[in-house]
Amino acid sequence: MNTLAGKHLVLGLSGGIACYKAAELCRALVKAGASVQVVMTEAAEHFMTAVTMQALSGRAVYTSQWDAREANNMAHINLSREADAIVVAPASADFLAKLLHGRADDLLSLMCLARPIESVPLLVAPAMNREMWANPATQRNVAQLKVDGVHVLDVGQGDQACGETGDGRMLEAAEILEDLQAFFAPQLLAGKAVLVTAGPTYEAIDPVRGITNLSSGKMGFAIARAARQAGAEVTVIAGPVSLATPRGVRRIDVRSAQDMFNAVQAQVAQSQIFIATAAVADWRPDTQADQKIKKDGSGQTPQLAFIENPDILASVAQSDRAQNGALFCVGFAAESHDLLAHATAKRLRKQVPLLVGNIGPSTFGQDDNALLLVDAKGATELPRASKQDLADDLIAEIARRL
């Protein structure tokens, strides 16, 4: 779901070295389908030129409240009335203080003060030195701005331009973009806690070998991201995958099916929705060698015996909370053939209200997928699309059923 498509945003830049990130953010917003009107303070022009921002936004940049281009000389009124939101990135410590006290001595602060509060939200991305961020004055200002209805984004942590390291740097453009996507998304799962399993599991044979599968975890991570954008508090329990954690999602890394089972049991009591996307190994070797099993030249292969892993989805779906409706469970079935028959049988066997089927070999590792939603009434196909689009559709479907 591209919630920024068709939105008109005012992107405000106050003074700070993080202005270079605003250029990347502007480009990302335009690429996402938003129109962007850039407004810069005098201090911002010391770090970034208006020419650069004009080229990236495709619009003339405003820098002065006395701009003669406006026939009524009221840029602060005209520009704010046209906006779906005002986003200030970077927002310096000085600019946050201005907002708090209602000062309006430049076009950007004047516009923020004059905006219709009920229809034009204000979002700010703080950017400053770690000591400035930690200063009690700044923290008081941020706390009061939140009370006043300003949406204050998080700050990043890491190396700063001054050579110090700590909290206070502005979020990266991609992080701000994701926060904006979530801000405009319908909050279909607001107040809900969602637990998602994702990726494969790995069942060790010896210290260097094991049994796993080709699941990349991309579908599960896309679902976690979609649930978070829908307003949920999301935890993803991930098998061994090399994927970045979706912004705002809590992540627990596990390795084996037993590890995943234990993690789910520890977390599911706090959840209202459980989505079992992970491709969990059905079996594991009954013993794990302490050292690498070596070839001895005899041509004899090691004899492996297997035991069944715990059934994570069934154990949760058949729990008292799931059976009495306090926990909504969604299962996944990755099949190689006869998808409808296998998915239908699995839904009944696991006792889940909704089972999502897909053909594993055609989706593992890919960025797109096709899904089959199976419930007590029958089956519905979701045609092939990006995994993120399918995740958005699935979350909307879950919200509708709740």
Residues carrying an active site annotation: 162
Instruction: List all residues 6 or more positions away from 289 whose beta carbon is below 8 Å from its beta carbon.
Output: 205, 206, 207
Can you point out the beta strands (E) in 298-377? Answer: 306-308, 328-335, 354-359, 368-375
DSSP helix/strand/coil, 400: helix
Instruction: List all residues 6 or more positions away from 354 whose beta carbon is below 8 Å from its beta carbon.
Output: 328, 329, 330, 331, 347, 373, 374, 375, 397, 398, 401
Q: In Å, how far are 40, 190, 327, 329, 397 from 182, measured between CA atoms?
A: 25, 12, 24, 24, 18
Other C-beta atoms closer than 10 Å to the C-beta of 59 total 14
What's phi and psi for 52, nearest 5 deg? -60, -45
Q: In Å, how far are 26, 168, 354, 375 from 9, measured between CA atoms?
A: 10, 24, 39, 41
Q: Six-digit token pair at 354?
A: 């909704």
Q: Which residue has the tokens 């250029």?
A: 23
What's phi and psi for 96, nearest 5 deg? -60, -40
Instruction: List all residues 6 or more positions away from 120 whose beta carbon is below 8 Å from its beta carbon.
Output: 80, 81, 83, 84, 85, 86
Instruction: List all residues 6 or more positions away from 206 whose beta carbon is below 8 Å from its beta carbon.
Output: 288, 289, 290, 291, 292, 293
Calpha distance 68→74 (Å, rounded): 9
Contact 179, 133 (CB under 8 A): no
CA atoms within 13 A on the CB side of 278: 34
For 325-360, letters b (16+ CB in 10 Å) and e give eebbbbbbbbbeeebeebbbebbeebebbbbbbbbb
